[in-house]
Amino acid sequence: NLPLLREVLACDNHHARAAAARQLRHWHGLAKDGDKLLAKAASDVNGLVRMEAAIACSYVGTKEAFEVLADVTALPSERHLAYAIKTSLGSAPMRKFWDKDTVEKTNPQVHAFLFKEKAANQRAEKSQRDKKFDRQKNLIKVKLTCVKEKMLFAAEYMLKPNLGEYKEAFGEIPAKPSQPIRVEFDNPDVTPHNFVLVQPGSLEQVGLAANEMAKDPEAAKSGQFIPKSKKIIVHSRMLKQGEKETLRFKAPRKPGRDPYLCRFPGH
């Protein structure tokens, strides 16, 4: 009965509160204060209770239930709760109240939640790809750093990932065609630097193109100075002092001496 439902929703045991929140799927329409009960469960301090309330919103299917669900997106959500919220938002009853093309303007809170979820999933997928790449037995590990105030790179490498020690690279990093390479690039210098690996014979062409970008206010806004060129094999972003970036790529299939450079204007 409704008095018992209200009593359990307010009790100290969060498992009991969650079980009561689940019953709102069916009892919401029978209670005059159904929206208030749903909103109370959705704002509970316990994530399990909020999860049941989020799922109940898709059963209720009203505009008010959607607003309750939208409020849940602003509260902390671990993996299972986040999945429940996302699933509820994607249900047919809830999709009547938001559209993917307009949600950023009509309900920025929901958009922020969905964007955060998408970004988190992308990070998790990238992490798995990176771990798989780093497990390759023929991986070359490279540490690349900028020499302070000299506009030079200092590099060292490990030919096999399990050797445990790096060798100094005197101007070259030996790699076989299509061999996987991981470059750990850092910039201790006060001047910004990036790392750009290019095809043989294209060093001057890429360098001049980057210098031309510096003359164009629109092109220079990003501060990256990476021209659009098929001659570029891989590049980092422009790192400020103290920043780091890890690049993972395979050496070109065609044997050759591929030069690398920094494309901060004047370097």
Domain boundaries, the chain: 2-128, 136-261
Residues contacting 73, CB < 8 A, separation 6+: 85, 89, 109, 110, 112, 113
CA–CA separation, 160 and 167 (whole Å): 11
- Superfamily of segment(s) 136-261: Cupredoxins -  blue copper proteins (2.60.40.420)
Q: Is the pLDDT of residue 150 over 80?
A: no
SS3 252: coil
CA–CA separation, 94 and 100 (whole Å): 12
Residue 163: the pLDDT is 66
Residue 180: the pLDDT is 94
Token couple for 144 = 């690349």
In this predicted model, what pLDDT tens digit does every residue of 179-193 receive, in sequence order? 999 999 999 888 888
Confidence of residue 6 (pLDDT cuts 50, 70, 90): very high
Residue 219: the pLDDT is 64
In this predicted model, what pLDDT tens digit does every residue of 221-242 receive, in sequence order? 666 778 888 899 999 988 989 9
Please state which CATH class domain 2-128 belongs to. Answer: mainly alpha
Largest alpha-carbon pair distance within the chain? 81
User: Same fold for the domain at 2-128 and the one at 136-261?
Assistant: no
Residues contacting 98, CB < 8 A, separation 6+: 66, 89, 106, 107, 110
In this predicted model, what pLDDT tens digit does every residue of 106-115 receive, in sequence order? 999 999 898 8
**Single pTM value for the model:** 0.55
Measure Cα distances from 105 to 99, 128, 195, 203, 253 in Å: 10, 33, 39, 46, 47
Q: How many CB atoms lie within 10 A of CB 207?
A: 18
